[in-house]
Structure 1
Amino acid sequence: MKIAPTIEGGLRMDPENKEDWHILRAIILDANSPEYDLASRMGDLVTDEKVAEDWQDIIVPDLRESFSDDLHYIYASIEAAAAFEDNGETPIWITQEDAPKWYSALNQARLSLEEKYKFGPDPESDPANLTPLRHEALLRNHFYSALQCCILDHAMKLP
């Protein structure tokens, strides 16, 4: 996959093979893990009992909906590019306007992968010790992180 900054301040991604499309589609699959509800997990971090109940009742549903909207947007962007191949090229554009949605989706996917596979400084996270499934998840996690860095560097509007 090729990823390059645009003159307008965004990114252009060019998936080059079926593996590239697989990893892009995996963003949605990883983020939608049924075992991991990021909105609820964030709500669980609120420890003040007076605030926690309101947070769970008011903020968490809106946060969950926002996360879901971001994932739907990314899914649509990926599938639109895949459906409308133009002369062998299928660019996916990340503009400054939709960069926060991409960043959110990638973050959701990375947090879900971390929850499921517990990547970290332990010896089992050494690629040489990983099962094929866990190794593939680690590679996706690294790709998501690298793409987030590209988004921050080239597509996020900073004040």
Structure 2
Amino acid sequence: MRLTLQKERESWRMSDLDDFHLHLLRQVAEDASVADEAAHKRLFPPPIRAAQNDDDDEFLEDWKDFVADELEQQFAGDVGTVLADLDNVRQHRGIKEGQEPRHLLEIPLDHARAWFSALNQARLMLDQKFNLHPGGENEFRLFVTEEESGGIDVKDRLAVYMRYEFYAAIQEWLVQRAMKLP
């Protein structure tokens, strides 16, 4: 399972992708989806905790109308950019009989922020849905109650956490390499 990330002049690329990598990347849209009110609050928290007076009520309504709705549209666009880029994957090199195919994904450099955003949203929503870091802890906990885990078993919880960390590794590379100013 080898994956190579490289920055070019006008693009960045993922090469040596196998089918499993592509499967993980194609799950970004589902993982980033905002499924319920708690997830929505996690992704789009209001700037103040609660309204104290009529001015605060008006401010929170403006926040929702002008900021939160725009952020939601931007995040949806970022996920759309990732999905559109994934449509451009191509076979990386010739395959000998019995070898697993390898793929290449070349992405415009100006899509790096959209990828970072979509991967971040996916990670936040995975953590929200499956409570990967219970109680706001920094450490992943594999063994939690069924209620805390979002109803998945230990094996599936580990698979979800693997996706979470896969997305984090790509985000780290994007920050260090692709989004770095020249």
TM-score bucket of the superposed structures, by smaller chain: 0.7 to 0.9
> Does 1:74 pair with 2:86?
no
Counterparts of 1:47-58 in structure 2, within 5 Å, are 47=48, 49=56, 50-58=58-66
Q: Structure 1, residues 32-62: CA drift from partner, whole Å, max 9, x if none?
A: 2423686654543311624211001111111
Q: Give the Å deviation of 1:98.
A: 0.8
- The equivalent of 1:135 in structure 2 is 158
Question: For the structure 1 residues 91 and 36, does the alpha-carbon distance in structure 2 shift closer, same or farther, using more than 3 Å as the test?
Answer: farther
**Which deviates the most, 49-58 or 21-30?**
49-58
State the SS of the aligned residue for 1:119: coil
Conservation of the 8 A alpha-carbon contact between 2:32 and 2:121: yes
- Taking a change above 3 Å as real, the CA distance of residues 122 and 28 of structure 1, as seen in their structure-2 partners, is same
Contact 2:142–2:158 (CA under 8 A) maintained in structure 1: no
Distance 1:123 1:156 in 2: 27
Q: Separation in 1 of the partners of 2:78 and 2:38?
A: 14
Percent sequence identity is 26
Between the aligned partners of 1:54 and 1:62, the Cα distance in structure 2 is 11
SS class of match (2:14)? strand
Give the drift of 1:124: 7.2
Report how far residue 149 of structure 1 moved: 0.5
- TM-score scaled to structure 1, two decimals? 0.81
Using the alignment, how far apart are the partners of 1:51 and 1:23 within structure 2? Answer: 40
Q: In 2, distance between residues paired with 1:55 and 1:42?
A: 14
Q: Cα gap change, 1:124/1:91 in structure 2, threshold over 3 Å: closer, same or farther?
A: closer
TM-score (norm. length: structure 2): 0.72
2:7 equivalent in structure 1: 6
The letter of the residue matching 1:54 is D
Do the aligned partners of residues 36 and 107 (structure 1) sit closer, same or farther apart at CA in structure 2, a change above 3 Å counting?
farther
Higher helix share: 1
Paired residue total: 156
Deviation of 1:123 (Å): 8.1
Is 1:125 the counterpart of 2:148? The answer is no
If you compute each CA radius of gyration, which structure gives the higher value, 1 or 2?
2
Matching residue within 161, 170, 173 for 1:150: 173
Gaps of 5+ in 2: 95-101, 146-152
Higher relative contact order (CA 8 A, sep 6+): 1
Which 10-residue stretch deviates more, 37-46 or 132-141? 37-46
Whether contact under 8 Å (1:28, 1:109) holds in the other structure is: yes
How far apart are the structure 2 equivalents of 1:58 and 1:124?
35
